[in-house]
């Protein structure tokens, strides 16, 4: 009987890479990826260093000095920061900025969300035209919008006062009223910016799965229950972005205040950024101005971190 013997299997050996010293070409490519990536990032890093990081470091150093920008610079240490904590005028600007933020942020967000919910209704005719019209003020310069609103609110020539007088309401000089000047500039800021937040909310609403709403309707949920238990929880990430963006915009309010009130009457609309402008360019105290700007930066960072932490925990609860 003849027996068939199977040939012995040869162990596969990958071909040796030429000039690689026993290492694969993939490893050599990965090892050379770092210098290549740095070469591509170098122009951007140079621009960031020259126009972002170096000015920030220079401004931080300037905040510990007394300088007018023309004469000698004197090192004063923490004196500028102590003055911020003890000067009642500067402390009042912090309070005005906080009040402005409290008035602006919820108003703009609620208005933007309400209009976004309305303009995502497929039964509404002309949705595109309404979206464009409501977004258009955001494209306009804040200074231009402030000039227009100043004429509208003018007690003698303003159309708003004329219309109110026709129905028996005498509004007076709003921008010179200590109680109405700040709400007036807040109205201008809301009118200018809510269209942008509305577009962000519309984009977020389009990402909410329609199957969730269909299932809720089948289970008998009404419109309010669908809004509070499905739509709003699904918009937690969008809310985080809009709230942080609106808060930062409120803390940096300046343009419409400079044009409409100049910080008056009696500093009732003097925000932190307006105070920085006043200290740096009117009083030529660059050290104190940069110190105030770094205090504002710290406040902005803290508030942003708190908001991200809050919305991040809410998002985990929704996902969980």
Task: Indicate the helix (H) or strand (E) that contains 74.
Answer: strand 74-75
DSSP assignment, residue 206?
T
pLDDT in tens, 60-104: 999 999 988 788 888 999 999 999 999 999 999 999 999 999 999
Domains and CATH numbers, the chain: 25-62 (no CATH), 81-319 (1.10.3720.10)
Q: What is the mean pLDDT of residues 152-172?
A: 83
- pLDDT category of residue 21 using cuts at 50, 70 and 90: very low
Q: What is the mean pLDDT of residues 213-219?
A: 85
User: Would the pLDDT of 20 be above 50?
Assistant: no
Identify the residue with better confidence: 22 or 183. Answer: 183
Identify the residue with better confidence: 31 or 24. Answer: 31
- pLDDT category of residue 168 using cuts at 50, 70 and 90: confident
């Amino acid at each position: 009987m003849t027996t068939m013997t199977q040939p012995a299997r040869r162990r596969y050996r990958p071909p040796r890479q030429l000039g690689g010293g026993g290492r694969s070409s993939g490893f050599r490519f990965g090892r050379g990826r770092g210098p290549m990536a740095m070469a591509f990032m170098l122009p951007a890093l140079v621009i960031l260093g020259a126009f972002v990081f170096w000015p920030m470091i220079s401004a931080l150093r300037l905040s510990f000095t007394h300088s007018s920008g023309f004469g000698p610079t004197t090192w004063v240490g923490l004196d500028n920061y102590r003055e911020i904590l003890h000067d009642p005028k500067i402390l009042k600007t912090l309070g005005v900025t906080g009040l402005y933020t409290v008035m602006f942020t919820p108003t703009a967000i609620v208005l933007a969300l309400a209009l976004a919910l309305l303009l995502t209704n497929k039964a509404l005719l002309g949705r595109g035209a309404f979206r464009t019209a409501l977004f258009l003020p955001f494209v306009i310069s804040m200074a231009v919008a402030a000039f227009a609103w100043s004429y509208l609110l003018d007690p003698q020539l303003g159309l708003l006062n004329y219309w109110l007088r026709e129905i028996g309401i005498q509004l007076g000089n709003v921008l010179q009223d200590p109680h109405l000047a700040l709400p007036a500039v807040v109205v201008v800021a809301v009118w200018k910016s809510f269209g942008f937040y509305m577009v962000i909310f519309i984009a977020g609403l389009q990402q909410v799965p329609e199957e969730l709403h269909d299932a809720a309707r089948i289970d008998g949920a009404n419109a309010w229950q669908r809004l509070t238990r499905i739509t709003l929880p699904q918009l937690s990430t969008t809310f985080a972005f809009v709230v942080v963006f609106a808060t930062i915009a409120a803390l940096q309010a300046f343009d419409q205040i400079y044009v409409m009130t100049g910080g008056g009457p009696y500093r009732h609309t003097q925000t932190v950024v307006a105070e920085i402008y006043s200290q740096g360019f009117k009083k030529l105290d660059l050290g104190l101005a940069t110190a105030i700007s770094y205090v504002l930066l710290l406040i902005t960072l803290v508030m942003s971190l708190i908001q991200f932490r809050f919305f991040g925990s809410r998002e985990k609860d929704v996902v969980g």
